[in-house]
Amino acid sequence: MAALKNVQKLGGISAILEAIIYGIAFIIYGAVLVYPPSDANTIQELKFLSDNQTILMILNLIVYVLFGVLLSVLVLAIHERLKNTSHVLSKIASVFGLIWVGLVIASGMIANIGLDSVIRMGAKEPEQAMLIWKSVEIVTEGLGGGNEIVGGVWVLLLSIAALKGKSFSKPLVFLGCIVGSAGILTIYPADIFTEIFGLSQIIWFIWLGIFMLRNNQKFL
pLDDT > 80? residue 2: no
Pairwise CA distance, residues 208 & 15, whole Å: 7
19-44 confidence digits (pLDDT tens): 999 999 888 887 778 777 667 788 88
pLDDT > 50? residue 220: no
Query: What are the backbone angles phi and psi of residue 190, rounded to the nearest 5°?
Result: -130, 130
Alpha carbon of 175 to those of 8, 148, 201: distances in Å?
20, 16, 9
- With 0.85 as the threshold, say if the pTM is over it: yes
117-137 confidence digits (pLDDT tens): 999 988 888 889 889 998 998
pLDDT > 90? residue 171: yes
The average pLDDT across 140-165 equals: 89
Pairwise CA distance, residues 42 & 32, whole Å: 22
Which segments of 28-148 does DSSP mark as H helices, in order? 42-51, 53-60, 67-82, 87-122, 126-140
Pairwise CA distance, residues 77 & 72, whole Å: 9
CB 186 within 8 Å of CB 141:
no
Would you give the end-to-end CA distance of the chain in angstroms?
7
Q: Report the pLDDT value the prediction gives residue 87, as an integer from 0 to 100.
A: 86
The average pLDDT across 133-154 equals: 87
DSSP 3-state assignment of 36? coil
DSSP 186: T
DSSP 17: H
Average of per-residue pLDDT values in the chain: 89
Contacts of 181 (CB under 8 A, 6+ apart): 152, 156
Closest to 109 in 3D by CA, of 74, 171, 43, 60: 60
CB 83 within 8 Å of CB 91:
yes
Closest to 51 in 3D by CA, of 96, 127, 115, 143: 115
CB 212 within 8 Å of CB 77:
yes
